[in-house]
Amino acid sequence: MRLRLEGVALSFEGARGERNRALDDVTLEVGPGVTGLMGRTGSGKSTLLEVMAGALRPDAGRLLVDGRDALRGPGARALAASVGLVFQLPERQFFEPTVEREVSFGLLARGVAPDEARARSARALALMGLSLDGLAGRSPFSLSGGERRRVAIASVLALGPRLLLLDEPTAGLDPRARAACLEAVRAAGAAGATVVMASHDANALAAVADRVVALEGGRVTLDGPVRELLGDAPLMRAHGLEPACAARAASALARAGLSVTGSPLTADELAEAVCRALGAGGSRGVVSGGRS
């Protein structure tokens, strides 16, 4: 599905009754695949995701889902039926007494039969490296931070949403859980879902995003293919953003006199680019089989 924001603005009331702009004239269209959302804290990422999810109503502008007004009527219902939002704070999502009820809630609400809901919940939790049998009766609030986040992600993945919005989903995850999360995000995008993932983790975005959008002060400041943005360390730095590690290394190598081409985004790509630059014959044998 395609989601379009046109001239979206949203302000929050400050402590002294003043209006603070969190989103300012945002025009943006997202479609199938993974779009990464970057920007420093306070730049408006969470607010933008909540507007996209229909959870926050903009003060001005339009929200369109497949060309239909998504702020009211059938368009709003279509959006609500298709969207899954993983909140920045998992606790904001939890409202059921047990993990099993939490993860299966959305499925049961959509009329999925209890057995099928349980099976789909178990599969979603397994994707995140958790076992339904082990956690079913636990309160979501009794879990560790990383487990809470994984349960929150699983409860959204279980719905198989066509519009999947994730707010810093890898924050606080250990490397294995982070890899599982990124694989689930990548798979959703590859399966045709429209995925938007906000993250400070440039390497995570480099691994899964097709396109990156950067926000600053509630405005879109960069929008382009992931390699052109995250692979360009000087550009990212000029916008106060973190480039992918491989891009940082490539730019340090360039300063040291080794001309690395191709804007590498991952460790494997960097190794291949270094081999090319050294005239060592590239990928054959030297770096094959590695993963990053």
Give me the residues that bind ligand ADP (CB under 6 A), please.
Answer: 12, 20, 22, 39, 41-47
Q: Which is nearer to Mg ion, 198 or 229 (CB)?
A: 198
Q: Which does 39 bind (CB under 5 to 8 A by kind): ligand ADP, Mg ion, none?
A: ligand ADP
Q: Which of 274, 204, 273, 203 is nearest to 244 (CA)?
A: 203
Helix, strand, coil percentages (3-state) for the chain, rounded to 5, are 40, 20, 35
Least distance to ligand ADP, CB of residue 249, Å: 27
Least distance to ligand ADP, CB of residue 59, Å: 13
Q: Which is nearer to ligand ADP, 22 or 103 (CB)?
A: 22
Q: Which is nearer to Mg ion, 45 or 149 (CB)?
A: 45
Query: Contact, 103 vs 140, CB < 8 A?
Result: no
Q: Which is nearer to ligand ADP, 12 or 141 (CB)?
A: 12
Query: Any residues with CB less than 8 A from the CB of 14 and at least 6 apart, and which?
Result: 20
Least distance to ligand ADP, CB of residue 12, Å: 3
Q: What is d(CA 158, CA 132) in angstroms, rounded to the nearest whole number?
A: 12
Least distance to ligand ADP, CB of residue 49, Å: 8
Least distance to ligand ADP, CB of residue 50, Å: 8
Q: What is the 3-state secondary structure (H, E, C) of 32-58?
A: CEEEEEECCCCCCHHHHHHHHCCCCCC
Q: Which does 43 bind (CB under 5 to 8 A by kind): ligand ADP, Mg ion, none?
A: ligand ADP
Least distance to ligand ADP, CB of residue 74, Å: 28
Number of residues that bind Mg ion (CB under 5 A): 3
Q: Which is nearer to ligand ADP, 20 or 288 (CB)?
A: 20
Query: Any residues with CB less than 8 A from the CB of 172 and at least 6 apart, and which?
Result: 145, 146, 149
Residue 27's identity, in one-letter code, is T
Query: Contact, 81 vs 28, CB < 8 A?
Result: no
Q: Which burial class, exposed, middle or buried, applies to 254 when counting CB atoms under 10 A from its CB (0-12, 13-18, 19+)? A: middle
Which tokens belong to 190?
Answer: 């590859």
Q: Which is nearer to ligand ADP, 32 or 39 (CB)?
A: 39
Q: Looking only at residues 31 through 50 of this chain, which bind Mg ion when binding is defined by CB under 5 A?
A: 45-46
Q: Which does 42 bind (CB under 5 to 8 A by kind): ligand ADP, Mg ion, none?
A: ligand ADP
- Give the residues across from 84 on adjacent strands: 164
**Which residue ranges make up the site for Mg ion (CB under 5 A)?**
45-46, 88
